[in-house]
Chain A
Amino acid sequence: MARTPIGPLEYTRRTWMRLTLLATFVFLYAPIVTLVAFSFNDSRRNIVWRGFTTKYYEKALGNSDLIEAFVNSLTIALLSTVIATVLGALTALLLWRFRFPFKAGYEGAMALPIVIPEICMGVAMLAFFAKVGWPSGLPWPLSLSAIIIAHVSFSFPFVAVVVRARLAGFNQELAEAAQDLGASEWRVFWDVMVPFMRPGLVAGALLAFTLSLDDFVITFFTSGPDTVTFPVKVYSMVRFSVTPEVNAASTVLIVLTVVLTGIALWMQFRQEKKSS
């Protein structure tokens, strides 16, 4: 039986293409698969497979320091997401709706935190909080304030960019139609603009949430001596030895991040299908 010849666009049937794909997947996912697999390894050390167990998950959940760090991380992520989403959406609206002097400059400056190396942001934040004499030793939720401010500052541009992209496709006549039917500017905003922006807001918020949840560098520089977040805590545990407990905790974080990203993509996809 003669094989059909490979068409010009049938890349997936070419050997070199398949090899490249395979190599890419191995490089991308082998470390993660190893991490997840070894979180179930019944051994103190992370080198040889000694059988399946879930005891390190139990141990991780029983580690009160780790849990405290996890709660801190979630609190920071939630609060900074809310603030970043509102701030980012308003920024996007401002850039979409108005013309003002140096608008291009402002737009560039606003997006700077996306491109600035995190280490520089971290150092800058450290210097800033030291300079203004940000109080330390505050009671619990307030003790996170410096980290939250830092997180908002690097995540709101992401929200702004996403929402701004969504607004570019807005039909101004929708707002005018609402106004024509009797809606005040405020009602036009709530009844027409917000529903239109919603997919962008959700995607932006999830982005901000995941960015905040796994941020290490900036948090490391801005956290005080007695506030520890999950990534910082994991780092300090790894300094002694990489135990399956660390693997287990990391796996939980990976699952959380993947699920949230999945939700974001799904909502985006659903909206696209609706509007086409």
Chain B
Amino acid sequence: MSSSGTAPAANSGSPIIEVSGLCKRFGSFSAVENIDLTIGRGEFFALLGPSGCGKTTLLRMLAGLELPSDGTIRIDGQDMSFVPANKRPINMVFQSYAVFPHMSVLDNVGYGLRIDGVPGDEIRRRAEEALELVKLGGFGARRPDQLSGGQRQRVALARALVKRPKVLLLDEPLSALDAKLREAMRLELVNLQETVGITFVIVTHDQSEALSMATRIAVMNQGTVQQIAPPAELYEFPASRFVADFIGSVNLLEGRVEAASGGRIRLACPGIATPIEMEQDRLPAVGSTGWVALRPEKIDITKEPPVEAGMNTVSGKVEEITYLGETSVYHVRIAPDLPLMKVSSANLDRVTRRAFTWEDPVHLSWTSSCGVVLDR
């Protein structure tokens, strides 16, 4: 798609997980539909999507807790589509953490090793090491009901990591924590992943979580994968209106493609006087419908029309202002029957000395390279 400013996927050697044509049907309802996916070794991979889109179902199929209706799952080169969960080199951190209530923290962490028949003193040593790793050293003798939610999650993490799996699956690991702790845990999970070097696959419906942690993100909707890309690429170059809208905030201007050549596209948008010009490698067909996707922070809002040439400009009236602390979002009416344009601008000065207020006529402008033209 584009080569600008995207982190490389941590692919070294053969992929650890290859999913092809994967489907899961519950009765006549299709929860996962024809998914193809490759996850490289050492990646921090995120499955992102709205509630009910099939993220958990996909994760459970990877873990072996749900059997696919169709398609294959290869783990480290071996077909594991129908191998039961207890025979897969994969461990999972459950959404409810599922810490065994009748065992001490140390016994919880050592459980997987005990099943494998590891000798007692080695279980103890490795379990204590794992607890140290998640900063729970000295908590081994406690019972799960004597732990906070965040600590219980660490136990679940240690319990899964102690078996040194090839892949660690995490289902919404941060959703039960409070906002501050969640932020801290994001960083900690990333550090942990770098320390242990295990591939992490994390499920989340929080886009900022996925953007800040993952090396690559798969955006899902209604059982299908919409786009797989590193965070910056996903944000800057969404492949569809769904992705553009789901990740962050976006303005979509619908228009007809009038010209497309040499990396430049011209669209005529009903309600906007001058055609919009955008730069893009991938060119849509002339005459088709396209959508210009613009991020609110990439649009300039000014009192006077911009002086530089080659800018796209529309004029309008401020209808609504949302104050968000570090930024304010201006909702600008540019045509009677178009949705309001959202423009965010940093609050560099005191709010009372803000340049615009309600009902002010303003000019919105953006360069031809700061958005994308979508064809679906």
A-to-B contact residues, CB < 8 Å: 171, 173-174, 176-184, 187, 191-192, 195-196, 274-275
What are the residues of chain B within 8 A of A173 when measuring CB–CB?
A: 94-96, 98
Contact yes or no, B94 A177, CB < 8 A: yes
What are the residues of chain A within 8 A of B63 when measuring CB–CB?
A: 180
What are the residues of chain B within 8 A of A178 when measuring CB–CB?
A: 100, 111
What are the residues of chain A within 8 A of B84 when measuring CB–CB?
A: 179
What are the residues of chain B within 8 A of A196 when measuring CB–CB?
A: 101-102
Name the distance in Å between A220's Cβ and chain B's nearest Cβ.
42
With contacts A183-B115, A191-B111, A275-B145 known, is A177 near B86, CB below 8 A? no
Contact yes or no, B100 A174, CB < 8 A: yes
Question: Which of A174, A181, A191, A274 is B91 in contact with, Cβ under 8 Å?
Answer: A181
Name the distance in Å between B107's Cβ and chain A's nearest Cβ.
10
Leading 4 A-B pairs by shortest Cβ distance: A181-B112, A177-B98, A173-B98, A182-B115
Task: Count A-B contacts at CB 8 Å.
Answer: 66
Is B159 an interface residue when CB atoms closer than 8 A count as contact? yes
Is B276 an interface residue when CB atoms closer than 8 A count as contact? no
Q: Which of A171, A173, A184, A187 has the most CB of B within 10 A?
A: A173
B-to-A contact residues, CB < 8 Å: 63-65, 84-87, 90-92, 94-96, 98, 100-102, 111-112, 115-116, 143, 145, 156, 159-160, 163
Contact yes or no, B116 A174, CB < 8 A: no
With contacts A176-B65, A195-B102 known, is A181 near B115, CB below 8 A? yes
Contact yes or no, A174 B98, CB < 8 A: yes
What are the residues of chain B within 8 A of A184 when measuring CB–CB?
A: 86
Query: How distant is the Cα of A184 from the Cα of B98 in the complex, in angstroms?
Result: 17
What are the residues of chain A within 8 A of B92 when measuring CB–CB?
A: 176-177, 180
What are the residues of chain A within 8 A of B64 when measuring CB–CB?
A: 180
Query: How distant is the Cα of A183 from the Cα of B111 in the complex, in angstroms?
Result: 9
With contacts A171-B96, A173-B96 known, is A181 near B145, CB below 8 A? no
What are the residues of chain A within 8 A of B85 when measuring CB–CB?
A: 176, 179-180
Chain A facing B: main interface SS:
helix
With contacts A180-B65, A180-B85, A180-B92 known, is A187 near B115, CB below 8 A? yes
Apart from A173-B94, A176-B65: 9 A-B pairs, beta carbons within 8 A: A171-B98, A173-B96, A177-B98, A178-B111, A180-B64, A180-B85, A180-B92, A187-B115, A191-B111
Contact yes or no, A180 B96, CB < 8 A: no
Query: How distant is the Cα of A276 from the Cα of B122 in the complex, in angstroms?
Result: 33
Residue in A closest to B159 when the chains form the complex, CB atoms? A181
Name the distance in Å between A165's Cβ and chain B's nearest Cβ.
18
What are the residues of chain A within 8 A of B95 when measuring CB–CB?
A: 173
Question: Which of A179, A187, A191, A275 is B101 in contact with, Cβ under 8 Å?
Answer: A275
Query: How distant is the Cα of A180 from the Cα of B111 in the complex, in angstroms?
Result: 11
25 pairs of residues in contact across A and B, judged by CB atoms under 8 Å: A171-B96, A171-B98, A173-B94, A173-B98, A174-B100, A174-B101, A176-B65, A176-B98, A177-B92, A177-B94, A179-B65, A179-B86, A180-B85, A181-B91, A181-B111, A181-B112, A181-B163, A182-B87, A182-B112, A182-B163, A183-B111, A184-B86, A187-B115, A195-B102, A274-B145
What are the residues of chain A within 8 A of B87 when measuring CB–CB?
A: 182
Query: How distant is the Cα of A141 from the Cα of B84 in the complex, in angstroms?
Result: 46
Query: How distant is the Cα of A134 from the Cα of B143 in the complex, in angstroms?
Result: 52
Name the distance in Å between B349's Cβ and chain A's nearest Cβ.
51
What are the residues of chain A within 8 A of B145 when measuring CB–CB?
A: 274-275
Residue in B closest to A275 when the chains form the complex, CB atoms? B101
What are the residues of chain A within 8 A of B91 when measuring CB–CB?
A: 180-181
Residue in B closest to A188 when the chains form the complex, CB atoms? B86
Residue in B closest to A196 when the chains form the complex, CB atoms? B102
Contact yes or no, B98 A182, CB < 8 A: no
What are the residues of chain A within 8 A of B96 when measuring CB–CB?
A: 171, 173
Query: How distant is the Cα of A191 from the Cα of B98 in the complex, in angstroms?
Result: 14
What are the residues of chain B within 8 A of A171 when measuring CB–CB?
A: 96, 98
Name the distance in Å between B57's Cβ and chain A's nearest Cβ.
14
Query: How distant is the Cα of A1 from the Cα of B92 in the complex, in angstroms?
Result: 68
Query: How distant is the Cα of A187 from the Cα of B117 in the complex, in angstroms?
Result: 13
Query: How distant is the Cα of A259 from the Cα of B65 in the complex, in angstroms?
Result: 45
Q: Which of A177, A179, A195, A275 has the most CB of B within 10 A?
A: A177
What are the residues of chain A within 8 A of B65 when measuring CB–CB?
A: 176, 179-180
Name the distance in Å between B198's Cβ and chain A's nearest Cβ.
15
Name the distance in Å between A106's Cβ and chain B's nearest Cβ.
24
Contact yes or no, B94 A176, CB < 8 A: yes
Name the distance in Å between B241's Cβ and chain A's nearest Cβ.
36
Residue in A closest to B84 when the chains form the complex, CB atoms? A179
Q: Which of B64, B90, B101, B159 has the most CB of A within 10 A?
A: B101
What are the residues of chain B within 8 A of A192 when measuring CB–CB?
A: 100
Residue in B closest to A274 when the chains form the complex, CB atoms? B145
Name the distance in Å between B61's Cβ and chain A's nearest Cβ.
13
Residue in B closest to A198 when the chains form the complex, CB atoms? B102
Residue in A closest to B102 when the chains form the complex, CB atoms? A195
Name the distance in Å between A101's Cβ and chain B's nearest Cβ.
18
Query: How distant is the Cα of A179 from the Cα of B159 in the complex, in angstroms?
Result: 13
What are the residues of chain A within 8 A of B160 when measuring CB–CB?
A: 180-181
Query: How distant is the Cα of A173 from the Cα of B63 in the complex, in angstroms?
Result: 13
Residue in B closest to A174 when the chains form the complex, CB atoms? B98
What are the residues of chain B within 8 A of A181 when measuring CB–CB?
A: 86, 91, 111-112, 115, 159-160, 163
What are the residues of chain B within 8 A of A191 when measuring CB–CB?
A: 100, 111
What are the residues of chain B within 8 A of A176 when measuring CB–CB?
A: 65, 85, 92, 94, 98
With contacts A174-B100, A176-B65, A196-B102 known, is A182 near B86, CB below 8 A? yes
What are the residues of chain A within 8 A of B163 when measuring CB–CB?
A: 181-182
Query: How distant is the Cα of A173 from the Cα of B98 in the complex, in angstroms?
Result: 6
Query: How distant is the Cα of A182 from the Cα of B115 in the complex, in angstroms?
Result: 6
Residue in B closest to A183 when the chains form the complex, CB atoms? B115
What are the residues of chain B within 8 A of A180 when measuring CB–CB?
A: 63-65, 85-86, 90-92, 160
